[in-house]
């Protein structure tokens, strides 16, 4: 693995997103490695739970890599959405516990990964949000996931403003489930993963299955909308221009 680290210990698989120089931004190769690490989990009796975190002390995952998405167009953005679907479904379809240890910025695709986990634990330096609108993209998948956690009004606020909220607000509104000190973050996440892993496994699996069933229609609709709306965004030229400006500033 080049873009993630995978460590198994006492039945817990820890996946560390490992692009600290890019604030652990998600791109196609990272998504492919995540699939390779997660797909076997349901059928591997030695793995009882998963913890996901980011390398370094700046970010859990700062979102999709703009160096990748800036090169998309009206046609290729559809393929990109399909790739996101495979990646996100791998988290969503986990039958076993999955805990996010949010060690910094979780934005865009980073927050989506966190919201696909069963629990989200952060420290006071975490900053969380869905800033797609700021780079010319429609907020579609993030909107669907946030509405389940926050309700419509707060989802609307975050999606249309593109702002990142600090950890204390994230805890208050429901983006985080726990807030602990930075030095305690990983131990707390591992402890929560162990606690969930001790539940009767069939009951846990069936409970997660029912939770997926309850939201499957909306999940399908969200990706149908993303397949329709993101090409429209790229056809306008706004994402390309906004991302180019951001990348120029980064240089």
> How many domains are contained in the chain?
1
What is residue 207's predicted lDDT score, i.e. its pLDDT?
98
Residue (of 159, 148, 130) closest to 218 by Cα position: 148
Confidence of residue 249 (pLDDT cuts 50, 70, 90): confident
Residue 172 is assigned to a structural domain of this protein: yes
Residue 115 is assigned to a structural domain of this protein: yes
Q: Are 94 and 50 in contact (CB under 8 A)?
A: yes
Q: Per the structure block, which two tokens stand in for 60?
A: 């859990």
Residue 205 is assigned to a structural domain of this protein: no
Residue 63 is assigned to a structural domain of this protein: yes
Q: What domain range is 102 assigned to?
A: 4-197
Residue (of 16, 32, 98, 104) closest to 62 by Cα position: 104
Residue 174's domain is classified under what CATH number? 3.90.226.10
**% of the chain residues with pLDDT over 90:** 98
The Cα-based distances of 136 to 14, 40, 63, 162, 238 in angstroms read 33, 36, 14, 11, 5
Residue 78 is assigned to a structural domain of this protein: yes
Q: Per the structure block, which two tokens stand in for 152?
A: 């419509």
Q: What is the pLDDT of residues 114-167, one digit of tens each?
A: 999 999 999 999 999 999 999 999 999 999 999 999 999 999 999 999 999 999
Helices (H) and strands (E) in the chain, counts: 10, 10
pTM of the model: 0.96
Q: Per the structure block, which two tokens stand in for 100?
A: 């996010």
Q: What is the mean pLDDT of the chain?
A: 97
**DSSP β-ladder status, 164-166 and 127-129:** antiparallel
What does the alpha-carbon distance between residue 186 and residue 122 come to, in Å, rounded to a whole number? 9
CB atoms within 10 A of CB 67: 13
Q: Say if residue 251's pLDDT is above 70.
A: no
Residue (of 31, 8, 9, 28) closest to 17 by Cα position: 31
What does the alpha-carbon distance between residue 242 and residue 184 come to, in Å, rounded to a whole number? 37
Residue 131 is assigned to a structural domain of this protein: yes
Residue 135 is assigned to a structural domain of this protein: yes
What is residue 248's predicted lDDT score, i.e. its pLDDT?
87
Residue 213 is assigned to a structural domain of this protein: no
Alpha-helical segments (H) within 135-174: 141-150, 152-161, 167-173
Burial classification of residue 157, based on how many CB atoms lie within 10 Å of its CB (0-12 exposed, 13-18 middle, 19 or more buried): middle
What does the alpha-carbon distance between residue 83 and residue 240 come to, in Å, rounded to a whole number? 19
């Amino acid at each position: 693995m080049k873009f993630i680290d995978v460590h198994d210990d006492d039945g817990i698989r820890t996946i560390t997103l490992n692009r600290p120089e890019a604030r652990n931004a998600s791109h196609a190769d990272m998504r492919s490695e995540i699939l390779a690490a997660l797909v076997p989990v349901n059928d591997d009796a030695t793995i009882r739970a998963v913890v996901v975190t980011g390398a370094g002390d700046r970010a859990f995952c700062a979102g999709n890599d703009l160096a990748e998405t800036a090169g998309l167009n009206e046609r290729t953005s559809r393929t990109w959405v399909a790739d996101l679907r495979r990646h996100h479904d791998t988290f969503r379809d986990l039958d076993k516990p999955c805990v996010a240890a949010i060690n910094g910025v979780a934005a865009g695709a980073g927050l989506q990964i966190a919201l696909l986990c069963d629990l989200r634990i952060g420290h006071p330096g975490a900053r969380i949000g869905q800033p797609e609108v700021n780079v010319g993209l429609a907020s579609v998948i993030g909107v669907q996931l946030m509405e389940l956690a926050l309700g419509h009004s707060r989802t609307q606020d975050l999606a249309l403003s593109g702002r990142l909220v600090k950890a204390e607000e994230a805890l208050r509104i429901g983006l985080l489930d726990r807030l602990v000190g930075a030095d305690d973050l990983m131990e707390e996440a591992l402890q929560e993963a162990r606690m969930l892993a001790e539940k009767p496994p069939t009951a846990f699996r069936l409970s997660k299955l029912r939770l997926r069933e309850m939201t499957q229609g909306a999940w399908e609709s969200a990706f149908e909308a993303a397949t329709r709306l993101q090409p429209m965004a790229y056809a306008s030229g706004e994402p390309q221009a906004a991302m180019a400006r951001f990348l120029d500033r980064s240089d």
